[in-house]
Structure 1
Amino acid sequence: MSEPLGDQEVVDVLTRVVGIIDPVLEVLSSTDPLGIKGRTKDDAPAGSLADRGLDAVAWAFNAADVPGTKAWDEKSVDERCEWWVRRVGALNNLVVAFPNVLGPLAQRLPLQKMLGFGNQAIVLIATARERGVTDRHDQVRLLAQVLCQRTIPDDVTPGPNAAAPQGEAPVTLKGSGDQEQNSWAPLALARTLWRLAHTMRGLSGELERRPKPTKIFRYLGMIPVVGVAAGYVGEFTALSHAAEAGRKWLEAQ
């Protein structure tokens, strides 16, 4: 059995986790390469056929309340936080629940724990940003408290081990020819989840401390194939609990 991690080790790994999540959220929230989000705030009638096509895409973005659209600007902070849970978190949860197709074997593999931890981390950092918490050390302390059940002292700061491993490429959302793709491509955060799973191997036993599905959903998740649905519901409930715990922690700060 491995030795429990110290606060310094947890902070180092979580700093790398935040370092992966934050830039992706920034791209997804703020970029608008084709001006699609801006069109949701423009009431001018469309002219050409191309403009009408772009307006149709803009309408879809606005209907989905995508950050940066007119509908998003009209939301309260609480509504924006809920959006990250019920839209992005719920979508990523499909990736988290998929290993349940393996039945009991999924319970023995660390992959699902890593994916579940990663999804909760993404939502917690996103909601923290919506509440104005952008300091990386505060975000790390949030993850440590909610997902690892640890209160990190203020004097424990990231050490040299918090740096990205040599040769690891920075987070980018680029397509061929370095042309930026649609920043709301559905797979953007799913790809981030897989990258987080690799990074979080260093957390070992800390993964067990995150909000988890209740026992009934874990048992149902052992049923091959059918367990995917049970795993999805269980993980989404756990995600909601993590988001609520994060909200309380942020308000207490």
Structure 2
Amino acid sequence: MDNRTVVTALDRAVAIIDPVLDVLAERDPVGLKARTFRRPTVEDTAIDTVLDTLAKTLNATDFPGTAAWLELDAQARSWWWVARIGAVNTVAVAFPSVFGVLVNRLPLQDLLGFANQAMVLVAVARENGVTDRSAHVSMLASVLCGREVVREGAEPDTSSTPTPKRECGPFALLHAMWDVAAVLRDVSSELAKRPHSRGIYRVLSAIPLVGGVASYIGERGALSRAAKQGIGWVHANAESPSHVGSEGASRMIRVSQ
């Protein structure tokens, strides 16, 4: 498979991931994030007390946009996304292993695992100052596909990219992962190149019932390794100004055949 095909699929995946991460980080539909910055007053009603309690609970999770989030450094914010995306999406990635080796032979787990790792890597890159869409594609190509691509300015082809759903919460992550998986089917030969579970977990995942638990633990480990490689990629490419905070997020990465 040529680089151009891989990059096109990855670009469409990032086009789905970025808006979903924006929603999770920025939306505050009932004002709970804002409440983490306020102090109770004597004029507060019973409803205020309830909402403040919910806000404190949210703040305790260090959710993006809360007061606690602002106290985290880039490394802590990066690993927040690893833990939270991992806790939700990895359940879907590991679930097929409940049925044992027969289902493990299907490409579903690699497809969802690749999509899950792509979401985490983009989130980690963003927390480390890399916001350019084409840089995200370069990183995914390097970390998940072992391909180094050359960047050139161009407009991306988004004609067949699904429109991200404007929702917040764990379902936004799951829906995004399924949408990303849909656009990655064109590069199925690349899916197995991503970081995988350690050998022992891959063996145990072939056993019905217990396979789901073993696969979950293994996929969480693989997700952490992918995130570390993503951070390494960011640091290695930090000197390139086009990778950091660029306004050219709409540029496509063009590659030679």
Which of 60, 67, 71 is the matching residue for 2:68? 71
What does 1:147-158 correspond to in 2, within 5 Å? 147-155=144-152
Aligned to 2:8: 12
The yes-or-no answer on 1:163 pairing with 2:158 is yes
Shift of 1:197: 1.6
State the alpha-carbon separation in 2 of the partners of residues 103 and 155 from structure 1.
44
Shift of 1:43: 1.4
The yes-or-no answer on 1:111 pairing with 2:104 is no
Aligned to 2:130: 133
State the alpha-carbon separation in 2 of the partners of residues 112 and 155 from structure 1.
33
5+ residue gaps, structure 2:
238-257
CA contact (8 A) 1:17 1:199 kept: yes
Pair 62,203 (structure 1): closer, same or farther in 2 beyond 3 Å: same
Which of 202, 222, 230 is the matching residue for 1:246? 230
Aligned to 2:190: 206
Q: How many residues align?
A: 236
Runs of 4+ displaced beyond 3 Å = 155-159
The alignment-based identity, stated in percent, is: 45
State the alpha-carbon separation in 1 of the partners of residues 230 and 68 from structure 2.
25
CA contact (8 A) 1:218 1:234 kept: yes
Aligned to 1:89: 86
5+ residue gaps, structure 1:
175-182
- How large is the Cα RMSD of the aligned pairs? 1.6
CA contact (8 A) 1:80 1:130 kept: yes
Aligned to 1:189: 173
Shift of 1:169: 5.0
State the alpha-carbon separation in 1 of the partners of residues 92 and 15 from structure 2.
21
TM-score by structure 2 length?
A: 0.88
Pair 223,156 (structure 1): closer, same or farther in 2 beyond 3 Å: farther
